[in-house]
Amino acid sequence: MRHEVAHGGYTAAQDVGLPPSRHREPINSAAESGTVTWVGLGIAEIAARVGGLIRQGLPLSVVLTTLCQLFDAAVKGFSSRILLLDPTAARARNTAGSYLAAGYMKELAAASAAPGFMLYELSPILSLTGDPLGIFALYRRECSPEVTRCHSALIPQFIHVAGAAIERMQSDEALKRNAALLERTQQLSSTCCFSWRVETGEISWSKELCQLFELDPSGVPVTLQLIGTRIHSEDLATFHEMIERARSGVSDIEFEHRLRLPDNSVKYLRVVAHRVRDQEGQLEYIGAVQDVTHRRHTEEALAKLRAELARAARVTSLGVLTAAIAHEVNQPLAGIVTNANTCRRMLAVDPPDIEGARETARRTIRDAERASEVVKRLRALFCKKGATRESLDLNEAIREVVALSLSELERNKVVVRMELAGELPRVHGDRVQLQQVILNLFLNASDAMSGVDDRPRQLMVKTERDEEDRVRLSVRDTGVGIEPQGVDRLFDAFYTTKSGGMGIGLSVSRSIIESHKGRLWATPNDGPGATFAFSMPCGPQDAMARHVRNL
């Protein structure tokens, strides 16, 4: 019998957009009568009309007023009214006659005071789970007849429709409130969210994320490929690596990458995602993306300041050091010059003072030895321990230097390209010293390009095995270049073409390379810029291996 109720209860609830009623028992009374005949619209039509109003987005008060008007039109001599319970107010308990919080009785009393009407019936409007949502109040015109049987069957159905409408709209509102809250929170924390179903590739992105990536939210659906077009070329590898990790099903993903937007601006993003299984058990990642550009810029500015400070400190300490060296060396030099002058004068007189001259010559030699002692001590100071030689991979050394200097190079808008030979023999040397040389060549290249704006500032570092079976490393820039006649002077100590330079870098670099039985040289490029390169012998093991192969 019960499914017949569908005519009223089920359909009505579904039209309003709710699952079928389980608790609204009063509808059974309509079922008992078999068919319901009454004036005006059928309950199904009323439910459909209310559902339409809800979908139009009209406020709850308008929807409920319309519902009451439909009831009043259907049931002559009666007037209905709906009072809503404030969800934040004290909850009425389902005990006899006490659905209502005390405050609502005043409302009812006021309502009943409408002239010519008297309160006929009060019924609770309940949610699906039996919580009170409001009160359906029915008033009878003073001279009207009693409510008919068919009318009394209609009342619970109306209450059911009202309940469904209230519940649906309140949950819609709660959803809207939550969505608004989420949006606001996202704005406040510069965070956007996304979900990604790994199997289907289905990606749902928030509007804010589309804005962040500068993608058209109404355009084509977001795909990994589309996202890839915005990823900074240098971070693409990291991005794809993360995608692969996700496909393998790791539980948490966390990484940072940059975006290159159509206007060439760069954004720094931090991505955090967590693995979940959706209802069908499919792998899905829910994640948040935070725009950390501002933070990164601050960090970069800080790093720049720190680097400048370190440079200033280095120059200052070099200045102090130079003064100390000068003092130590100048003392014996003064003795040498004075002694030699005295000697010359003693020999110039007639008769020459041979004994005095001999004594001054002896002191000249002694002072010269003192000066050379000072130099020896200084060298001992700077080479406290002997250079540590080990077998090392020059490519690896280069990668480390690139990693260290990348932020400095990027700050100077230098693009680094690497062409590292695949099977480069290992060399035997001091890793730190060789890396100092490489770093020096990088920074020189970067400095040489600092004024270049009409072409890309490109630094190309290349390794290869040369014709003499040695390992060659070259650093090619697109900077101001070098004068062919000035090439040899470049490596002189204290020779510099840079305003802020000390002119030590290249001479020190050359001495380091020479101590590795290598050679460091510079050549002007055919195009703009210069190439600095060094070559050095392969390490003993590689040399041995080749020797064996050649036998």
Partner 1 sequence: MSVPVKRPLVSVVDDDESVRESLPDLLRELGYSVRAFSSAEAFLASECVGETRCLILDIAMPGMTGPALQQELLVRGQAIPIVYITAQADEIVDSSSLGQGAVACLFKPFSDTALFEALNAVFRVN
Q: Where are the beta strands (DSSP E) in 58-116?
A: 78-84
Q: How far apart are CA 373 and CA 377, in angstroms?
A: 6
Least distance in angstroms from the C-beta of 489 to partner 1:
25
Select 290 or 342, whichever has its Cβ closest to partner 1.
342
Least distance in angstroms from the C-beta of 382 to partner 1:
21
Select 131 or 359, whichever has its Cβ closest to partner 1.
359
Residue from 79, 127, 342, 509 in contact with partner 1 (CB under 8 A):
342
Q: How far apart are CA 260 and CA 229, in angstroms?
A: 8
Are 128 and 17 in contact by the 8 Å Cβ rule? The answer is no
Least distance in angstroms from the C-beta of 353 to partner 1:
9
Site for partner 1 (CB under 8 A): how many residues?
Answer: 25
Amino acid at 44: A
Other beta carbons less than 10 A from residue 418's beta carbon: 13
CA distances 53 to 10, 13, 17, 73, 161, Å, are 19, 14, 12, 18, 13
Q: Which stretch binds partner 1 (CB under 8 A): 66-74, 177-185, 331-339, 461-469?
A: 331-339
Residue from 336, 416, 473, 522 in contact with partner 1 (CB under 8 A):
336
Phi-psi region of 413 (alpha: psi -120 to 50; beta: other; left: phi over 0): left
Residue from 2, 245, 327, 455 in contact with partner 1 (CB under 8 A):
327
Q: Which of 93, 92, 69, 94 is nearest to 82 (CA)?
A: 69
Select 314 or 327, whichever has its Cβ closest to partner 1.
327
Site string (281-300) toward partner 1, x via CB under 8 A: --------------------
Decide: is 316 part of the binding site for partner 1 (CB under 8 A): no
Q: Which of 218, 190, 191, 184 is nearest to 286 (CA)?
A: 191
Are 536 and 426 in contact by the 8 Å Cβ rule? The answer is no
Amino acid at 432: V
**DSSP states along 323-383:** HHHHHHHHHHHHHHHHHHHHHHHHHHSSS--HHHHHHHHHHHHHHHHHHHHHHHHHHHHHT
Give the tokens for residue 238: 């990291």
Decide: is 330 part of the binding site for partner 1 (CB under 8 A): yes
Residue from 208, 367, 477, 542 in contact with partner 1 (CB under 8 A):
367
> Which secondary-structure segment (H or E) carries 513?
helix 505-515
Decide: is 337 part of the binding site for partner 1 (CB under 8 A): yes
Residue 243, burial from CB neighbour count under 10 angstroms (0-12, 13-18, 19+): middle
Residue from 49, 345, 462, 465 in contact with partner 1 (CB under 8 A):
345
Q: How far apart are CA 472 and CA 161, in angstroms?
A: 85
Residue from 94, 265, 341, 541 in contact with partner 1 (CB under 8 A):
341
Q: Which stretch binds partner 1 (CB under 8 A): 235-243, 256-264, 335-343, 378-386?
A: 335-343
Q: Which stretch binds partner 1 (CB under 8 A): 298-306, 356-364, 403-411, 516-524?
A: 356-364
Decide: is 378 part of the binding site for partner 1 (CB under 8 A): no
Least distance in angstroms from the C-beta of 330 to partner 1:
4
Q: Which stretch binds partner 1 (CB under 8 A): 59-67, 363-371, 380-388, 478-486?
A: 363-371
Decide: is 356 part of the binding site for partner 1 (CB under 8 A): yes
Q: How far apart are CA 1 and CA 33, in angstroms?
A: 12
Q: How far apart are CA 421 and CA 213, in angstroms?
A: 37
Q: Which of 130, 135, 162, 100 is nearest to 25 (CA)?
A: 130
Find where tokens 């500015």 sit: 301
Residue from 370, 389, 462, 519 in contact with partner 1 (CB under 8 A):
370
Q: Which stretch binds partner 1 (CB under 8 A): 15-23, 295-303, 339-347, 514-522?
A: 339-347
Least distance in angstroms from the C-beta of 375 to partner 1:
15
Least distance in angstroms from the C-beta of 347 to partner 1:
11
Q: Which stretch binds partner 1 (CB under 8 A): 96-104, 199-207, 260-268, 359-367?
A: 359-367
Least distance in angstroms from the C-beta of 447 to partner 1:
28
Site string (124-153) toward partner 1, x via CB under 8 A: ------------------------------
Residue from 124, 335, 429, 537 in contact with partner 1 (CB under 8 A):
335
Interface residues toward partner 1, by CB under 8 A: 323, 326-327, 330-339, 341-342, 345-346, 349-350, 356, 359-360, 363, 367, 370
